[in-house]
Structure formats: C-alpha cells, structure tokens
C-alpha cells in the first residue's frame, strides 16, 4: 500500500497520524508526507517570510520526526502560515493533485475540515477536491484526522469531530511521542494540548473508548473495497 499524509503545518502529521504512520511502515506500507505551509510566519506581527535559519531548523525537526516514524519521503512546500485562504482554492488543489500524481497513494490522510485553524480547513477542502472518486483513480481510502489545539477548539457544534474509525497504536505510542519530541519549536508546556503529556493522554483516552491502551481517531470519508482479481 502507498500512503500519503497531507498536513497544513509541521507537527500536524505527528500529532494526528504519527502512530498510524509508524504502524503502516511496520506492516510494509510506503508512507510519504506533504506539509503545505511553513508554520512560523503567523507568529510575527506582520507577515514576513521566516528567516532561512528558522526554516532550516524547522526542516530538521521534520526530518528527524519523519525518520523516527519511518516515512519514506517528506516535502515542505512552505506556503505562508495561516494564510492559505489568501490563495485561490484551485491553486492549493493543483498542488495536492500534483503530489497525488507523484506518490500515487491508495490511502490518503488529511486534516479534519471542521478545525478552527483556517489552513487546516483549506487543506481539507483541497484534498477532498483532489481525491474525488473519478473512474480509475487510485485513491481508494480517505481519512481525516484531529489536530490537538485546533480540532477541539472549534466550538461550533456542526463542526464537532466525531470519529468513526480508530487505529490501535499501543505499540507505536512511544515512537509517536519520540517523534513529536523533535518538534521543540512547536511544543508547549502541559496542560497545553500541544504538549507531550497531552498528546499521550489523548491517545490513551481514545484507546479507552474503543477497548485498547492507546489509539488514534479518524473520520473515514470514503473507502472502496477492491476485490483481488488474482484470487
């Protein structure tokens, strides 16, 4: 299986899918990651491109995290942070389509569309457009994932994240936490939701809801079971 993870920002891929990425790799699947925005410039009072050293350090954080999880290849596209809505949606869709064509995934993971973060919402919309189920399209499964400090902060009831698919990551949780520990520029102190303790506790709570020690939760958008014609 080829798996492709889209995330809006560096660390979203670990927070939302880190354990599942590791599990895919352990079962022999190829996992690639595409990160759309640079994740830094929204912290400035006015927009300016982050300094090269800042981007370099952030890139190295992603590299170490992805290596820990066993990701085959990751791409950092460095669109302006929290400004994806300033682009025509078609521009982002084309970027997503190009990467789908390059990596040819069977399974795609992307941000949940109800997140409070605008970049998450744009990435979700772009991926939904790019993965529409046309004949002969290779993407058969599309999942959306939660991102702590965004998904749970949208208090609009209609946008609530209600997962319907869970992955047991009790054997991958340690690797997920180790991968996240490389994102030093993104981590916060507990009880901030983007802290190592909160991420670990969240996995254990989802696990308890489905009868395992730790889990990641997803919304299954679409799945297509293809019969093995060789059998």
Per-residue model confidence (pLDDT) at position 231: 40
Q: What is the DSSP pairing of strand 215-223 with strand 73-79? A: unpaired
Helical ranges in 70-111 per DSSP H: 89-103
**What is the average per-residue pLDDT within 134-141?**
94
The token pair that represents 168 in the structure block = 């047991």
The token pair that represents 36 in the structure block = 């759309």
Q: Mean pLDDT over all residues of the chain? A: 95
Checking if the pLDDT of 119 tops 80, the result is: yes
Say how far apart CA 21 and CA 37 lie, in whole Å: 20
pLDDT tens by residue, 3-18: 999 999 999 999 999 9
Share of the chain above pLDDT 70, in %: 98
**Which region holds residue 216: left if phi is over 0, alpha if psi is between -120 and 50, else beta?**
beta
Question: Over the range 45-72, which residues count as b (16 or more CB within 10 Å of their CB) and which as e?
Answer: eeeeebeeeebeebbebbeebbebbbbe
**What is the average per-residue pLDDT within 209-217?**
98
Query: CA–CA distance from 178 to each of 6, 16, 105, 126 (Å)?
Result: 21, 14, 26, 30
Query: CA–CA distance from 46 to each of 9, 10, 149, 194, 204 (Å)?
Result: 19, 21, 23, 24, 39
How much is the pTM? 0.96
**What is the average per-residue pLDDT within 132-151?**
96
pLDDT tens by residue, 187-207: 999 999 999 999 999 999 999
Per-residue model confidence (pLDDT) at position 47: 77
Say how far apart CA 147 and CA 113 lie, in whole Å: 11
Q: Across the beta sheet with 215-223, what order do the strands follow?
A: 73-79, 30-37, 2-7, 107-111, 141-145, 215-223, 165-168
pLDDT tens by residue, 32-74: 999 999 998 887 777 788 899 999 999 999 999 999 999 999 9
Say how far apart CA 57 and CA 40 lie, in whole Å: 11
Query: CA–CA distance from 22 to each of 8, 117, 207 (Å)?
Result: 20, 26, 17
Domains and CATH numbers, the chain: 2-223 (3.40.50.10320)
Q: Where are the beta strands (DSSP E) in 80-211?
A: 107-111, 141-145, 165-168
Say how far apart CA 83 and CA 223 lie, in whole Å: 31
Looking at the DSSP bridge assignments, the partners of residue 219 are 144
């Amino acid at each position: 299986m080829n798996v492709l993870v889209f995330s809006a920002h560096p660390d979203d891929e670990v927070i939302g899918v880190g354990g599942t990425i590791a599990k895919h790799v352990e079962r022999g699947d190829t996992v690639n990651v595409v990160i759309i925005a640079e994740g830094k410039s929204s912290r400035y009072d006015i927009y300016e491109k982050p300094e090269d050293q800042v981007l370099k350090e952030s890139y190295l954080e992603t590299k170490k995290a992805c290596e820990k999880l066993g990701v085959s290849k990751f791409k950092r596209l460095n669109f302006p942070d929290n400004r994806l809505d300033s682009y025509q949606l078609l521009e982002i869709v084309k970027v997503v389509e190009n990467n789908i064509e390059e990596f040819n995934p069977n399974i795609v993971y992307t941000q949940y569309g109800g997140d409070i973060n605008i970049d998450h919402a744009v990435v979700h919309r772009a991926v939904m457009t790019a993965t529409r189920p046309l004949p002969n399209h290779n993407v058969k499964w599309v999942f959306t994932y939660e991102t702590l400090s965004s998904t749970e902060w949208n208090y609009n009831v209609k946008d609530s994240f209600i997962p319907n698919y869970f992955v047991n990551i009790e054997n991958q949780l340690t690797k997920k936490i180790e991968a996240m520990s490389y994102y030093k520029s993104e981590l916060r102190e507990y009880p901030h939701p983007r802290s190592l303790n909160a991420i670990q506790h969240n996995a254990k709570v989802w696990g308890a809801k489905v009868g395992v020690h730790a889990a990641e939760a997803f919304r299954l958008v679409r799945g297509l079971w293809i019969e093995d014609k060789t059998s």
